[in-house]
Amino acid sequence: MQSKKEPEIVGRYELFDAIARGGMATIHLARLTGEEGFSRIVAAKRLHASLIEDGDFVQMFLDEAHIAARIHHPNVVSALDVVRSDRELILVQEYVRGVPLNTILAKLREHHAPMPLPILLAIAGGTLAGLHGAHETRDETGRPLQVVHRDVSPQNVMVDADGTPKLLDFGIAKAATSAHVTREGLFKGKVSYMPPEQLRGEVATRQSDLYAMGIVLWEMAAGRRMFQGTAEAQLFGLVLKGELPNLVETLASANWQGSAADLDAVADGLAKVVRRATALKAEERFESALQMQDALYALGRPALPQDVAQWLVDVAGTYLEQQDQVVASQDFATTSSWRRRPPESNASGVMARSGPAPTRSAAPPVVAGDPSGYEALDAPPKERSNRALLLVLGLLGALLLLSGAIIAVMWSRSTATVASAPAVAPPSASSPSSVRAPEVALASSAAALPSALANDGAPMPSGHTAALGRAAPLPPRPGGRFVPPTAPAPRPAASVAPAATASNCDPPYYFEGTKKIFKPGCL
């Protein structure tokens, strides 16, 4: 089994087999590839290698790219990109799955079938809408570009599979910004659709495009070429004199196969639209493509896109199937769309000329494992983080101040208790148990102190162990909250020290709190 040809890699595009060829370029099926399996089928219009050194053809090719890139209309094939190198010049356009109008007309001739009037109005009206969009194109500053297509013909109208007509191929279009200048005496376009002024070498205007559209309309209604079998010299004479074949007479001689109502509509209305569009003098034609579209729609209601799509399948379904087979034969699914592109590959979104690859700025950080590739949204803004930090620090400061206040209150109360404590008589030698009692109270009270203040985080003051030993134990804290100690009951005034005798001078002192006081008369 013969292996399939690998696609040619040009920048970030994979070029497959050629699907059409003209005198200036070859059309390839291609695919735009990107990261994480992104891909899109496109059409790559590739300038012939023999013309890459011809400055006129290169400039004309670039003019087409510049003009098409500025036209944004659903009835015009979009230009997406330009790829240029030393030996390559490629215009990347949207790929349209559809049937060219000239192929549709050929299919109708094979079956001797006319185009139904609603279908004709839909296709011609949509093409005129795209032509009007091109004529009204403006640049980024709002300045009209005065675009003229100069090659309106059935070959350059594509009806896509959804029933939408699209105007394409602005290869010889002219605009106010075009850099290419047509050589004197050189005709561009198809002679069969050229207006008299263009044959005379005069400047083409939007009325020149409307003249060509009038001939296309004639051929859609008649089902054949207007100048079929006419020599070019004779054609020149007929066009310059304005002696074009009459549409109604042509239909009558061709044994019209449609309904009588459609024939009346053609005789009463469509022929008049054609005559005005193909008037010998440009000023006698329609002022705009939109005005010509209005004249057409006055003849009847155009078919809906879905009706055009169904009719297209009935007339040219085999062509669509063959087109799908060509696309399927390229085996898009098994080539390299799912591999990552190397960073150095040329992803030209502008007209990148030969030379070193442009540098790229660093991308914003992406969350690992996030297929969307968006920046992480979990982290709050920096300003919000600073504000939260200040709030936490403020709360901690308030807690420290509160704890300091509580310790200060406890300190002052314990000091008052020590200062007001009564003088304690020295224990008797015959009562050893009374001497040990304060030590037990001190031990139990000191053991209770850390647990009582542990949650408050306040350090225990030094030098107050004896005073706290005499104080009543702190009550338990309900619910974990600190309960300040109650104030001690008032005591009677201290009595005067008794006079010293031989029996009470052993020992010769007593304690008042922590202060040792010697007894009078025992010294």
Q: Tell me the residue range of the domain where 165 lies.
A: 8-338
DSSP SS3 for 416:
helix
| For range 429-434, the mean pLDDT | 44
Least Cα distance to 273 among 301, 299, 308 occurs for 299
Does this model's pTM top 0.85? My answer is: no
pLDDT in tens, 6-20: 888 888 899 998 998
Which of 142-151, 297-306, 426-435, 447-456 shows the lowest per-residue confidence on average (mean pLDDT)? 447-456
Split at pLDDT 50, 70, 90, the class of 354 is: very low
Residue 430: the pLDDT is 45
Asked if the model's pLDDT at residue 338 lies above 50, the reply is no
Split at pLDDT 50, 70, 90, the class of 33 is: confident
Establish if 234 belongs to a structural domain.
yes
Asked if the model's pLDDT at residue 54 lies above 70, the reply is yes
Which of 49-58, 379-388, 404-413, 429-438 shows the lowest per-residue confidence on average (mean pLDDT)? 429-438
Residue 489: the pLDDT is 52
Residue 463: the pLDDT is 44
Q: Residue 107 CA to chain centroid, in angstroms? A: 42
Residue with more model confidence, 368 or 309 = 309
Split at pLDDT 50, 70, 90, the class of 343 is: very low
**CB-based burial, 314-324: b 16+ in 10 Å, e otherwise:** ebbeebeeebe
Please count the structural domains in the chain: 1
Percent of the chain residues topping a pLDDT of 70: 63
Max CA-CA distance within the chain?
Answer: 163
CA–CA gap between residue 294 and residue 289 (Å, rounded): 9
**CB-based burial, 335-347: b 16+ in 10 Å, e otherwise:** bebeeebeeeeeb
Which region holds residue 235: left if phi is over 0, alpha if psi is between -120 and 50, else beta?
alpha
Asked if the model's pLDDT at residue 487 lies above 60, the reply is no
Most confident of 257-271, 379-393, 478-492: 257-271
CA–CA gap between residue 15 and residue 97 (Å, rounded): 17
Which of 150-164, 260-274, 302-316, 501-515 shows the lowest per-residue confidence on average (mean pLDDT)? 501-515
233 Cβ contact list (under 8 Å, min separation 6): none
Residue 389: the pLDDT is 64
Residue 39: the pLDDT is 86
Residue 104: the pLDDT is 98
Residue 474: the pLDDT is 43
Establish if 58 belongs to a structural domain.
yes
pLDDT in tens, 77-127: 999 999 998 788 999 999 999 999 999 999 999 998 889 999 999 999 999
Residue 414: the pLDDT is 54
Residue 167: the pLDDT is 98
Establish if 490 belongs to a structural domain.
no
Q: What is the 3-state secondary structure (H, E, C) of 245-256?
A: CCHHHHHHHCCC
Which of 15-24, 111-120, 163-172, 400-409 shows the lowest per-residue confidence on average (mean pLDDT)? 400-409
Split at pLDDT 50, 70, 90, the class of 308 is: very high
Asked if the model's pLDDT at residue 278 lies above 70, the reply is yes
Asked if the model's pLDDT at residue 464 lies above 80, the reply is no
Residues linked to residue 297 through DSSP beta bridges, in sequence order? none
Residue 408: the pLDDT is 66
Residue 56: the pLDDT is 87
Establish if 179 belongs to a structural domain.
yes
Which of 144-158, 170-184, 379-393, 405-419 shows the lowest per-residue confidence on average (mean pLDDT)? 379-393
Asked if the model's pLDDT at residue 493 lies above 70, the reply is no
Residue 434: the pLDDT is 43
Establish if 368 belongs to a structural domain.
no
Residue 519: the pLDDT is 75
Establish if 119 belongs to a structural domain.
yes
pLDDT in tens, 207-229: 999 999 999 999 999 999 999 88
Least Cα distance to 132 among 87, 74, 80 occurs for 74
Element (H, E) at 314: helix 305-329
Residue 399: the pLDDT is 75
Mean pLDDT of the chain: 75
Asked if the model's pLDDT at residue 276 lies above 90, the reply is yes
| For range 318-330, the mean pLDDT | 91
Percent of the chain residues topping a pLDDT of 90: 42
Residue 467: the pLDDT is 41
Residue 86: the pLDDT is 77
Residue with more model confidence, 33 or 105 = 105
Residue 211: the pLDDT is 98
Give 94's Cβ-side CA count (13 Å radius): 19
Residue 268: the pLDDT is 76
Asked if the model's pLDDT at residue 172 lies above 90, the reply is no
Indicate which CATH number applies to the domain containing 142.
1.10.510.10
DSSP sequence for 440-484: HHHHHHHHHHHHHHTTTTPPPPTT-HHHHHHSPPPPPPGGG---P
Establish if 444 belongs to a structural domain.
no
Establish if 88 belongs to a structural domain.
yes
- Residue 270's CB is within 10 A of a number of other CB atoms, namely 27
